[in-house]
Amino acid sequence: MTDGISSWWFFLCTVSVLNVAGWLASARVLGRRQGVLSAEVYATRRQQLLLSAGYVLGCAFRSFMPVYDVQRMVIVDSWLSSVAVGRSVATVAELCFVAQWALMLREISRATGSHAGKTVSSVVVPLIAIAETCSWYSVLTTSNIGHVAEESIWGLSAALLVTSLVAIWPVCDAAARRLLAVWCAMGITYVAFMFLVDVPMYWSRWLADEASGRVYLDLAQGLADVSQRWVVSHRWVDWQSEVVWMSLYFSVAVWLSIALVHAPVLVRRGPSGPRQQGWVTVERRSLHAPG
């Protein structure tokens, strides 16, 4: 194994172990907060914790068993590294992650009375389910056109989430706006990366395959192929196109997943009287203003 690959793989494995430890610590913290949270809020945070577990463990597995799907390339020579196993784990983990964001957006939308937010919170999980189907199409057939559709849907879903948060902005207080600003900035960065880097990369790969006359597998052939064939490679040149997104995806995205468990609780300010504690306060008159 080359030094570059061994160092990168060690980084992925180390981060995944720390992520699991962080999730366990997060679970303990949430347990201690049960007495100070309402039953409804605690139930929601428990859902967030369980969904986060699916994402944290899924990313940890994929860190120890990296797979380059279309190329059937792996680092560890094991059936656990097969694309069939890795893609299945990824599908479950990614649905858990987007479900966390849908759950959080639904909570924010209920507190602020945002109809747009409620709508987006109900459609992002089905959208990502479609994206996962497109991903499986590419993985099975080896045609990158499915990845073009998959990454476009991910980018669109993130754009919808950002748009929803921007729509909620006017009814939030200063503390809430700071957090929304961070989320929006991260979302905009993600959308820009998807449509300026990721989607064009897969599009260019598909065009190159078309130009070379590549023969794709049908779905049955692909299913047999992803279950039975994997190519072990420890060369940096084979993995370099995957290093950046995997490193960020298995670290920063996981930290976001864990952080969502402890997102501040939204509360509504009463029509009169002192401000209640909370990271967002919503004037009742703001929700019912004309127009």
Q: How many residues does the chain have?
A: 291
Q: How far apart are CA 109 and CA 165, in angstroms?
A: 9
C-beta separation of 288 from 64 below 8 A: no
Please determine, for residue 133, whether its predicted confidence score (pLDDT) is greater than 60: yes
Answer whether residue 79 shows pLDDT above 80. yes
Q: What is the residue-wise DSSP string for 22-40?
A: HHHHHHHHHHHHGGGS-HH
Name the DSSP class of 114.
Answer: -
Reported as a pLDDT band with limits 50, 70 and 90, residue 275 is very low
Which pLDDT belongs to residue 61? 97
Of 281 and 213, which is predicted with more confidence?
A: 213
Position with higher pLDDT, 224 vs 287: 224
Of the candidates 279, 61, 37, 272, which has an alpha carbon nearest to the alpha carbon of residue 171? 279
pTM: 0.88
Question: To which residue do tokens 């949270």 refer?
Answer: 37
pLDDT tens readout for residues 228-244: 999 999 999 999 988 98
pLDDT on residue 255: 95
